[in-house]
Amino acid sequence: MTQKLTLNPVPLPPFWGTRILDAINVTDIIPYLHLQTLYRLHWGLNNNDQLATNTLQQLIAKNEERSILHPRAVYGYFACQSDGNNLIIYNNTDSKKEICRFLFPRQKHNPHLCLADFFRPVANQEIDLVILQLVTVGQKAADFARDLFKQNEYQKYLFWRGFNVAITEGLAEFVHQKILQELGLIAKNIVHTQHHGTRFSLGFSACPNLEDQQKIVTLLAAQRIGVSLSETFQLIPEESTSAIVIHNPQSKHFAII
């Protein structure tokens, strides 16, 4: 039996369709970095290590000097409804013409959750809202780190590679917070707080189908910010990430198995 969820009021988006964010500075993203992950996981340093703090400042300054990272994003508000395990995306709120659908897996154990459960079903008649986002720091960032590796500058490569990844994740959080603000669902603090709703990236348990990247890339016209897909549905440039943002406050990450 599927868990019965309370459906919150559908927030009114400031626009329907997509919007590009192109004038983003790396310094704007720094407050959204998860420094513990950057220092410990990517760099293998302690949080209180002065080397970690100094390295971060040096990379920020180097990027300011050479414009290695080019943060760009595209996000969009789309009309939708659920149908069982499917999330149906419509071209607009009036005609309800289906343009694509996402099929999500459902838990085989209690509470039998599926991402589609967090949206209004077709039987409800009311149109719901789903938000898609995609961010990248550009191909130059990946090429710069790769060149360091080819030059046997392994420590510099490690630092820049981790920095690229951290800025990409911070950029995703930056855009997510902008979406929350536009919808009037502002979190108390900008970083590491309980969101009103949740951001889901493809490849994880609740939405494992990487082929759905093609739908996100197409709906957002991601080529406008220089992002494409490989034959295995990986985003290009490497330091790019997409997400499905659900406004329902009950939404949460969960395991299928």
Report all structural domains of the chain as residue ranges with CATH numbers, in order of start. 17-246 (3.40.109.40)
Q: What are 92-145's pLDDT values in tens digits? A: 888 789 999 999 999 999 999 999 999 999 998 899 999 999 999 999 999 999
Q: What does the mean pLDDT of the chain come to?
A: 92
pLDDT of the residue at 11: 95
Which tokens belong to 19? Answer: 């919007």
Residue 189 pLDDT exceeds 70: no
State phi, psi for 24 to the nearest 5 degrees. Answer: -110, 125
Q: What is the percentage of the chain residues whose pLDDT exceeds 90?
A: 83
Return the closest-CA partner of residue 243 out of 171, 191, 188.
171
- Asked if residue 175 lies in contact with residue 5, where contact means CB atoms within 8 angstroms, the answer is no
- Asked if residue 51 lies in contact with residue 45, where contact means CB atoms within 8 angstroms, the answer is yes
- Asked if residue 198 lies in contact with residue 246, where contact means CB atoms within 8 angstroms, the answer is yes
Q: Give the pLDDT mean for 22-36.
A: 95
**% helix / strand / coil in the chain, to the nearest 5?**
35, 20, 40
| pLDDT tier, 157 (very low <50, low <70, confident <90, very high otherwise) | very high
| pLDDT tier, 1 (very low <50, low <70, confident <90, very high otherwise) | very low
Q: What are 30-53's pLDDT values in tens digits? A: 999 999 999 999 999 987 789 999
Residue 4 pLDDT exceeds 80: no
pLDDT of the residue at 187: 57
pLDDT of the residue at 13: 97
SS3 assignment, position 226: coil
SS3 assignment, position 6: coil
Residue 25 pLDDT exceeds 50: yes
| pLDDT tier, 195 (very low <50, low <70, confident <90, very high otherwise) | low
3-state secondary structure 75-140: EEEEEEEEECCEEEEECCCCCCCEEEEEECCCCCCCCCCCHHHHCCEHHHCCCEEEEEEEEECCHH
Q: What are 207-230's pLDDT values in tens digits? A: 999 999 999 999 999 999 999 999
Q: Give the pLDDT mean for 157-183.
A: 97
pLDDT of the residue at 60: 98
Residue 249 pLDDT exceeds 50: yes
For residue 159, the surrounding DSSP H or E stretch is helix 154-182
